[in-house]
Each structure stands twice: as structure tokens, then as C-alpha cells.
Amino acid sequence: MAEKVIIIGSGPAGLTAAIYLARASLNPLCIEGFISGGVAGGQLMITTEIENFPGFPEAISGPELMERMKNQAMKFGTRFVSEDVIECDLSKDPFLLRTASSTFQTETVIVATGATAKRLNLPSHEKFWNRGISACAVCDGGLPIFRNQVLAVVGGGDTAMEESLYLTHFASKVILIHRRDEFRASKAMQKKVLNNPKIKILYNTIIEDAIGDKSLSGLKIKNLKSGETKEIEVKGLFYAIGHKPNTDFLKGQIEIDDEGYIITKGRTMTSVEGVFACGDVQDKIYRQAVTAAGSGCMAGVDCERYLSGKNS
Ligand code: NDP
């Protein structure tokens, strides 16, 4: 028997879609992911405190927020499977989705598999992850441990510019570290960074390792032109070296752009009728929990309307 709707992914986008579809009595099945996107529940599962999700003035931890969303989706009848979708055939009617142990048939699909922030392979990455190292300045930059401290951002794209500028509101100084001598960011963003007296730029520089006791206190860096290595004192390091959307299982099935993001048409519709996408897997600009949840709501509503149009 084909499912009416399967949601792939269980971050804020997938779970919000699940809440809407379950309340619409569509009995959704959520294949919540296991390891391919990092962790079920998405990037918030590795975020400590969330201070900017509306409704939580005292802040909430990422895992707790995701647990609440999952409970809300379950309360209305969403069923969960803890596996990754590894392959799909969207040319079939109903669509076919395969996991390691089963094949599912479904009339509609909502893809909410997110994007994984790229990380530097520093020897001490694990030790300082969430103890000074983060991949999202907008999510974590305002936390008390980073206030009035010297913070570093690595990268040379628009995200690195945006995150550096954002951090100047909290930091005493921001050090932007880039491996080349020119940025790939838009000229407008570069100009803002270059004109900001709180931002110091280290060009042609790579980070060799992070240092510190219990939390990050510095970086070992190397100038690629001179070969000189030295240590600098920073209390935070923010990766801004790009994201990888989790769309490998969709290759050849659906329109994706050069970077792997799903192309949505107008709202949450994709190039395949009956397949919808929401959250970071189709958003390279905002990437916030609240925008992901908002687009999950849109995908749920679009899917419900599609199904009622099809069946009437
Ligand atoms: P990008 O891919 O544009 O930039 C990634 C940056 O990280 C590059 O400068 C790259 O260096 C550097 N980098 C990659 N890997 C490493 C590594 N291993 N070590 C050191 N540095 C590394 O990603 P963004 O997230 O910045 O942007 C993605 C897309 O989103 C872009 O299209 C961007 O325009 C868009 N965006 C738009 C915004 C806006 O309009 N406000 C805001 C944020 C993003 P190198 O240059 O040497 O390759």
C-alpha cells in the first residue's frame, strides 16, 4: 500500500511539515535520517543554546527544541522510521524510496534533508566543537562565552563576510582568516567588511589547529606566502567555508543546482510534480531554524492542497 506522504528529514522543516500534515489527517510517515545528514534532528541537534527562536525568551537547547517538535508531530499521528533514504525513483507512480532495510511507495514526498556545514579537519576539532568552535555565527555568536572576546571567522565567501559583520556586534575584535589573497564574496559585502574597523583580515592564511584547555583559547595559523606559523589568541572560531546540501540520493531524479541545492519553483514545488522541498536543502541564504520551520509549513500546506486537488 502506498503512503499518502513521506517526509524525508527531521529537522525543523521536516517536523513542521509533519505537524501540518498530521493535523490534516494525512497520516504522514517521516523517514527521519540516521547518519547521512550528520544526526537525526538536523543541525540543531549539535547546537547548544538557541536564543533567537521566537517563543523562548530564556533560550532553549537545540536537542530540546527538536524533541518538542518531534513530540508535537507524534502527538498528531506522525510515524517515524530511523533510517536514511539511500536511493529513490521519482519517475514511478507511486514514487519509490529505498532505505537500507525497506522500500516505500508514496504518492507525495517532502524533502527536508537539510545541508551540512563544512568543517575544517583540525586535529582538535572534536575537542573544541561547541566549546568555542561553531559553524553558525548567527546561531551562536551572541552567547555569553563570545561576548567582548576576540573571535575568528574562516572563509572568503558571502557567509564569511556576513558572519564577520554580525559578530562585530558582540566581539571586541573579529579576525577574518582566508586562504587566498582575494575574496569570492560579492563586492558589496567585501566593502562592508573592509570598512569595518573591528575586523582584521589575515589573507593567505590557514588554520593548522585549535588550542586551549577546556575551551578554545587560540589558533595555530600559517601564512602560506611566507611559511611563517604563529599562535593567535581567540575565544571563538566560526567556520564559514560553505555548506553541502544533503541531496546525494536525489541525483538524476530532480532538478538541483550546481552546488547541489534543490531548485524550488515559486513556493515549495520541485521539478517533479508531487515532490516538495523545504528548509536548508533548498535555501542557501537564510538557513535559520525559524525559516526552515516556516518553509516546512509551506511544504505541508502545498502538499495537502496537491493531494486534495488530485483526489477530487
Ligand atoms: P562559498 O562556497 O561561496 O565560499 C566558501 C569559502 O570558504 C570560500 O572563500 C573558500 O575559499 C573557503 N573555503 C572552502 N573550503 C575551505 C577550506 N577547507 N579551508 C579554508 N577555506 C575554505 O560559501 P558561502 O557559504 O559563503 O556562500 C554559499 C552561497 O550562498 C553563495 O552563492 C553565496 O553568494 C550565498 N550567500 C549569500 C548571502 C547573501 O546574499 N546575503 C549570504 C550568505 C551566502 P576559496 O575562495 O579559496 O575557494
| pLDDT mean across residues, the chain | 94
By most ligand atoms within 8 Å of CB, the mutation choice from 153, 284, 287 for ligand 1 is 284
44: phi then psi, degrees, rounded to nearest 5: -70, -20
CB of 163 within 8 A of CB of 240? yes
| Catalytic annotation, pick one of 30, 88, 139, 278 | 139
Indicate if 136 belongs to the active site: yes
Q: Shortest CA distance to 177 belongs to which of 244, 242, 239?
A: 239
Q: Are β-strands 243-245 and 115-117 bridged in parallel, bridged antiparallel, or unpaired?
A: antiparallel
> Pick from 194, 224, 239: which residue ends a domain?
239
Q: What is the structure's pLDDT at 304?
A: 98
pLDDT in tens, 16-46: 999 999 999 999 999 998 876 666 777 777 6
User: In this structure, what are the phi and psi dihedrals at residue 269, rounded to the nearest 5 degrees?
Assistant: -70, 145
The per-residue pLDDT for range 90-137, each reduced to its tens digit, is 999 999 999 999 999 999 999 999 998 899 999 999 999 989 999 888
The structural domain count of the chain equals 2
Among residues 239, 256, 285, the one where a domain terminates is: 239
CATH number at residue 209: 3.50.50.60
Residue 88 appears among annotated catalytic residues: no
Shared domain for 89 and 13, answered yes or no, is yes
pLDDT, mean of residues 276-294: 94
Residue range of the domain that includes 46: 3-116+243-311
pTM, to two decimals: 0.77
According to the model, what pLDDT value does residue 50 have? Answer: 81
d(CA 142, CA 148): 10
134-193 pLDDT per residue, tens: 988 888 888 999 999 999 999 999 889 989 999 999 999 999 999 999 999 999 999 999
pLDDT at residue number 255: 97
